[in-house]
Structure 1
Amino acid sequence: MRTVLLFLIFAIVGMALTPSKPIRVVFFGDSITQAAVKPGGYITRIGDMLKTQNRANDYELIGAGIGGNKIYDLFLRMDEDVLAKQPNITFVYVGVNDVWHKRTYGTGTDPDKFVKFYEAVIKKLQAAGSKVILCTPAVIGEKTDYSNDQDGDLQQYSKLIRDLAARNNLPLCDLRKAFLEYNLKNNPTNAEKGILTTDRVHLNDAGNQLVADEMYKLMVAAK
């Protein structure tokens, strides 16, 4: 009996001393996410924020962004680029190219197909055991009077993502809303770029920090 008791004590102590695995977080998206692993990028900034909170060892951050990707590109590459990493949390940050490429390349993604592919991505991630956080696309132009060429489409696709989050009971990182609110306060000249973006779409330092702040809150709440 004493031997069994000692064995149980040692087993419990051993389990307590075994370091827990970090929470693995994959950021799944397009060129905005591809650039986010570079110095000053939003993923790097989230890592820096974890360090200041002495939580760097609690998380493993992985970027999975490829320039030009639309929702169906994410679906086609998710096995290798996301599921193989066995994420605990996955941020899905896509939609800009699904809208933007309609005007620039005559491609893009129709709304019904966008929703179907997005739902398939969600279901596959959940089936693999990952928590899923959806993100709305932010901006294609920063004018605050809704005169950017594709504001209407961005609003529509952002609503589609909000609806997907609501239907699937998923956390929503509403970057569209956050960017619009920031620009209303910080873009008095109605500039089309230079407030949160370098070129109307891709993030500057302020934009990367805003995305990092919004995602960080949801990430630490999702564990």
Structure 2
Amino acid sequence: MKLLFIGDSITRCGRHEDPEGIGSGYVRLIHDYYKTNRPTENYEFINRGVGGDRIIDLNARWEQDVIQINPDMLSISIGINDVWRQLDSRDQKQIYPEEFEHIYVKLLNRVREKTKAEIVLMEPTVIEEDIEAEGNQKLKSYVKIIHKLSDQFEATLVPTHQAFLTFLKAKADYKLTRDGVHMNSAGNMLMATTWLNNVNVNDINLKIRGSRREVLNDMKG
């Protein structure tokens, strides 16, 4: 079973320095969980996170990094840079919610048309560890779009943004990021546990096996 994770630097998280190409972030924690809890399963984890990526950058590499890989499960985490660039690079062409949704729909349509992948949509996390920060206010529209698309495409939703807000509301004296955006080990753990609590890879695997049996039965018939 081939599991593909795609997104920005939060997903990338050292994958180029890792001999396994998985990195040291939330993808690594998910990988290690399944490798130790399902040792007999043949899970292949692929990380295609690229630092600085926005939805338009995913669009530019979608054929090579998703369609050609043809995963059984595709997990997407995008949206932070679409908002962050509005704060730190105001002279750059911006991707506002309407265009973000338009491109995201196009990408998901291609997945449905070209692959049989089960889709997992992750909410963007946070910009600054402050609920009232401008970045987190702007993220609300993007989070709503991802909820809408999860319904439209019958995808599994991972409420990562909500998990971070819940933590921030608790006012714990502990940081989740190194700079307000990029995760420290605790932030990666929160992302991974939120993913694991909402995605059942075993169910997806059983579904895939059932589909393959149906194909083989049709061929025999």
Q: Is the TM-score greater than 0.5?
A: yes
SS of residue paired to 2:134:
coil
Structure 2 residue 5 is the aligned partner of structure 1 residue 27: yes
The gaps in structure 2 that reach 5 residues or longer are: 206-221
Of stretches 45-54 and 90-99 in structure 1, the one that deviates more from structure 2 is 45-54
Contact 1:71 1:114 in 2 (8 A): yes
Larger deviation, residues 127-136 vs 88-97: 127-136
- 1:200 deviates by 0.5
**Take 2:63 and 2:172, find their aligned partners in 1: how far apart are those partners?**
44
* Matched AA of 1:132: I
d(CA) in 1 for partners of 2:144 and 2:82?
14
CA RMSD of aligned residues (A): 1.8
Quote the residue 2:214 is aligned against: none
Structure-1 residue corresponding to 2:215: none
Q: Deviations over 1:18-65 (max 9, x none)?
A: xxxxx1011010111111645531111112111321336431110001
| Counterpart AA for 1:184 | K
Residues 56 and 92 of structure 1: CA distance in aligned 2, closer, same or farther (over 3 Å): farther
CA offset digits 1:74-117 (Å, max 9, x no partner): 01101111222110010110000011101111233111110010
8 Å contact from structure 2 (residues 105, 149) kept in 1: yes
- Partner AA of 2:4 in structure 1: V
Secondary structure, counterpart of 1:203 in structure 2: coil
What does residue range 182-221 of structure 1 map to in structure 2 within 5 Å?
182-185=167-170, 187-188=171-172, 195-217=175-197, 218-220=199-201, 221=203
State the partner residue of 2:135.
150
Match of 1:166 among 144, 151, 168: 151
* 2:219 aligned residue: none
Report the count of equivalent residues.
Answer: 194
Instruction: Find out whether 1:125 has 2:105 as its counterpart.
Output: no
Question: What's the counterpart of residue 17 of structure 1?
Answer: none
Question: Equivalent residue for 1:16?
Answer: none
- Following superposition, the deviation at residue 170 of structure 1 comes to 1.4
Q: Distance in 2 between matches of 1:83 and 1:52?
A: 29
Where structure 1 has 5 or more consecutive residues not aligned to the other structure, the ranges are: 1-22
- Report if the CA contact (8 A) 1:126-1:132 is conserved: no
- Counterpart code for 2:124: P
What residue is the counterpart of 1:97 in the other structure?
81
User: Match for residue 19 of structure 1?
Assistant: none
TM-score by length of 2: 0.81
2:65 equivalent to 1:81? yes
Instruction: Return the TM-score normalized by structure 1.
Output: 0.81
The answer to whether the Cα contact below 8 Å between 1:196 and 1:207 also exists between their aligned partners in 2 is yes
Aligned twin of 1:43: 27
Residues 13, 24 of structure 2: 8 Å contact kept = no
Give 2:211's aligned residue.
none
Q: 1:32 aligns to what SS in structure 2? A: helix
Give, in whole Å, the separation in 2 of the partners of 1:222 and 1:142.
34
Which sits farther off after the overlay, 123-132 or 92-101?
123-132
Q: 1:184 and 1:28, CA in 2 relative to 1: closer, same or farther beyond 3 A?
A: same
Larger radius of gyration: 1
Alignment CA distance shift 1:45-1:56 (3 Å)? farther
Distance in structure 2 (CA, Å) of the matches to 1:219 and 1:71:
26
